[in-house]
Amino acid sequence: MKKTSVILIILTTIINANPAIGQKLSYGSPEGRLEMMKMWKMTEILELSEEQASRFFPRYNSLEKELKNISVKQRELLIKMKKLTGKKNGITEKELENIVTKISNLEQDKKEKKKKFFEGLDQVLSTDQMAKYYGFEIWFKEELRQGLKKRGEIGSYGKFDRRDKEMRDKKKMKKQR
């Protein structure tokens, strides 16, 4: 019953902390299910009390939202850089330097936001829980990567590796005929 209460608090907190999540990320979608599973596993591994969960997850969701926004900006800059380098006139050294500086500044912003978040964790979590949280983030990303790799959705180079494998398989099939 206690775990159910904690999970309900987490889900309510997630939806209320970011109304866009409730609208964009349906918990029936793969991204929504992944997010829900991550919250559930985090609650379980950190052994969060109801009070801790109600204080931790709004902060965590806020950080995740900020990091996603920064990543979107970085992606937009990378797309812009790719388009400019693909043009006949090319891209000037100054334009390229400007884009690289912006991307670097955004990466630094991510680091600062994470640092601020981690520095404030001691107000919510015990030292043991903080250690588990650091380990959880690394473990969860690795588990996700391994799971996708086993399903064949990513390889050492992501989508490109899978496409290369598909092309090699097609060539083998043609040779066998």
Query: How crowded is the C-beta side of 77, counted as CA atoms within 13 Å?
Result: 19
pLDDT tens digits, 96-105:
899 999 999 9
Q: 6 pLDDT exceeds 50?
A: no
- What CA–CA distance (Å, rounded) separates 56 from 13? 10
Question: Mean pLDDT of all residues in the chain?
Answer: 80
Predicted confidence at residue 41, as pLDDT, reads: 93
Looking at residue 102, what is its pLDDT? 95
Q: How far is CA 116 from the centre of its chain?
A: 18
pLDDT band per the 50, 70, 90 thresholds, residue 7: very low
Q: Domain extents for the chain?
A: 2-125
Q: What is the pLDDT of residue 110?
A: 97
Return the SS3 of 61.
helix
Q: How many Å apart are CA 45 and CA 47, to the nearest integer?
A: 5
Please provide the distance, in angstroms rounded to a whole number, between the alpha carbons at the two ends of the chain: 61
| Banded model confidence at residue 26, pLDDT cuts 50, 70, 90 | low
pLDDT at 50 over 90: yes
Extract the tokens encoding 162: 């899978």
Q: Distance between CA atoms of 95 and 87, rounded to whole angstroms? A: 13
Lowest mean pLDDT among 44-58, 68-82, 131-145, 160-174: 160-174
